């Protein structure tokens, strides 16, 4: 039975890794060609309302750059070298024809780089739909809430024009149900990893989340159920690793080997900010009444905290990270920031100050999505883990 369980888990993880390494997006292409008239809407990292895309009958497709598998040649001609790599590799995906089947792109307001990328995309691919998603920075219902409802309705109309059919309230409610289930399954996996991090390696969980960006939500829900069933039926060896929270990886995603290197260094990652779109709302979005108002309310009042989300200065500034350390019984925080990531790097000193005030050990390093040499990171994380073990035993 144990061997069969291991085999089932390995099969699921291998499928996810195949999806992760497929820069031609063959699964999404196959979904589109399976039925005439289907549309694929790409979106950049952080957060977009995937429920509305799904309700329009389209496939939400996460575009997270080219990772460490793509050599950027043409993309470097469009952007300066002192910004993060994700816009250059995304342009490379576009000009190399890897995204020629995508009908439209959504660019969330995470930073100036993504804002500029939305304009560049319009210039380079004028025959493709493109829209900048302006997310609220005011979290009062009568200000930010009204603004965001207007933005969601504009996205709804934009999608209706692309697909040629209206996006109904009923369809949005049905999509919310599916994504509520998806977020519930992701939260379940996160809770199980925090409880037994040796049974759910973060490298596997990361691949599962990445799979959710290229698969229809119905398929990803089943994949998550199958994975959770298989890991509950097995018991991997537990190690005397240090429990850490990983912070700063919310936009340009880390190479898979970076996550593996942190784990090999003697750390269990028990919380992180990978691919926040998969669990942006922390609980269920209501399906009663106006679905647009419900999505806006959840964004304002029930969403994850991150460096790219505005939070005013005050006594609670950065406390979400301290709370995560306490909730997940972490022993320290690792700040892994993409090079030139303004939101992450500007916020880091403030977060470090909060952690220092509360006596939480932390360490920081930078990476790029194409980072190849992981030994220094492994050594740095390993030294951090050893130091924590020494301090805790003092």
Summarised one tens digit per residue, pLDDT across range 273-304 is 999 999 999 999 999 999 999 999 999 999 99
**Nearest-angstrom CA–CA distance, 237 and 234:** 10
- Per-residue pLDDT band for 7 (boundaries 50, 70, 90) equals confident
pLDDT per residue as tens digits for the range 117-146? 999 999 999 999 999 999 998 999 999 999
> What is the edge-to-edge ordering of all strands in the sheet holding 59-62?
59-62, 40-43, 104-108, 129-133
Q: State pLDDT tens for residues 73-89.
A: 888 888 887 888 999 99
In CATH, what number is assigned to the domain containing residue 101?
3.40.50.11890
Residue 14 domain-assigned (yes or no):
no
For residue 69, what pLDDT is reported?
87
Asked if pLDDT for residue 186 goes beyond 80, the answer is yes
- Express each pLDDT in 194-214 by its tens digit: 999 999 999 999 999 999 999
| Residue 250 is assigned to a structural domain of this protein | no
Range of the domain at 99: 21-168
Q: Which two tokens stand for residue 271?
A: 């919380």
Q: How confident is the model at residue 6 (pLDDT cuts 50, 70, 90)?
A: low
Q: Are 86 and 369 in contact (CB under 8 A)?
A: yes
Region of poorest pLDDT, from 63-67, 228-232, 311-315: 311-315
pLDDT-based confidence at residue 191 (cuts at 50, 70, 90) = very high
Query: What integer is the mean pLDDT of 348-368?
Result: 94
Mean pLDDT of the chain: 93
pTM score:
0.94
Let me know if residue 138 belongs to a domain. yes
Give the residue-averaged pLDDT of 30-50.
Answer: 95
387 domain-assigned? no
Residue 219, domain member (yes or no):
no
Residue 97 belongs to some domain of the structure: yes
Structural domain includes residue 86? yes
What's the confidence (pLDDT) of residue 147? Answer: 96
| Predicted pLDDT of residue 144 | 94
User: What percentage of the chain reaches a pLDDT higher than 90?
Assistant: 77
pLDDT at position 283 is 94
Residue 181: is its pLDDT beyond 90? Answer: yes
Model confidence over 230-265: pLDDT tens digits? 999 988 999 999 999 999 999 899 999 999 999 999
Banded model confidence at residue 5, pLDDT cuts 50, 70, 90 = low
Kindly state whether residue 36 falls inside one of the protein's structural domains. Answer: yes
The total of structural domains in the chain comes to 1
- Are 213 and 186 in contact by the 8 Å Cβ rule? The answer is no
Residue 392 has pLDDT above 90, yes or no: no
């Amino acid at each position: 039975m144990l061997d069969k369980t291991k085999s089932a888990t390995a099969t699921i993880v291998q499928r996810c890794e195949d999806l992760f390494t497929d820069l031609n997006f063959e699964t999404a292409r196959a979904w589109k060609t399976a039925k005439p008239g289907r549309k694929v809407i790409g979106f950049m990292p952080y957060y977009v309302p995937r429920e509305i895309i799904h309700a329009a009958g389209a496939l939400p497709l996460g575009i997270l750059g080219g990772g460490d598998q793509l050599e950027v040649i043409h993309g470097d001609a469009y952007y300066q070298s002192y910004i993060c790599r994700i816009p250059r590799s995304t342009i490379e995906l576009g000009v190399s024809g890897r995204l020629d089947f995508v009908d439209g792109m959504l660019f969330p307001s995470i930073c100036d780089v993504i804002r500029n990328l939305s304009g560049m995309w319009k210039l380079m691919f004028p025959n493709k739909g493109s829209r900048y998603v302006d997310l609220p920075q005011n979290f009062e219902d009568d200000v930010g809430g009204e603004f965001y409802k207007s933005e969601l309705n504009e996205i709804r109309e934009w999608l209706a024009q692309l697909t040629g059919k209206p996006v109904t309230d009923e369809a949005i409610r049905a999509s919310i149900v599916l994504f509520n289930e998806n977020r519930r399954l992701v939260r379940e996996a996160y809770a199980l990893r925090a409880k037994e991090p040796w049974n759910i390696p973060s490298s596997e969980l990361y691949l599962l989340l990445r799979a959710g960006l290229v698969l229809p939500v119905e398929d990803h829900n089943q994949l998550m159920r199958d994975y959770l069933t298989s890991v509950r039926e097995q018991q991997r060896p537990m190690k005397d690793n240090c429990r850490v929270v990983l912070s700063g990886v919310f936009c340009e995603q880390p190479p898979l080997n970076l996550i593996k290197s942190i784990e090999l260094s003697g750390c269990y990652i028990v919380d992180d900010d990978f691919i926040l779109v998969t669990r942006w709302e922390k609980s269920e979005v209501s399906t009663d009444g106006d679905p647009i108002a419900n999505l806006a309310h959840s964004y304002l009042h029930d969403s994850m905290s991150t460096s790219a989300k505005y939070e005013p200065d005050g006594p609670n500034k950065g406390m979400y990270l301290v709370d995560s350390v306490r909730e997940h019984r972490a022993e320290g925080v690792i700040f892994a920031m993409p090079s030139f990531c303004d939101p992450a790097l500007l916020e880091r000193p403030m977060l470090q100050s909060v952690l220092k005030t509360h006596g939480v050990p932390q360490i920081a390093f930078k990476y790029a999505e194409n980072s190849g040499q992981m030994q220094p990171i492994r050594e740095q994380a390993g030294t951090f883990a050893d130091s924590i073990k020494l301090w805790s035993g003092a």
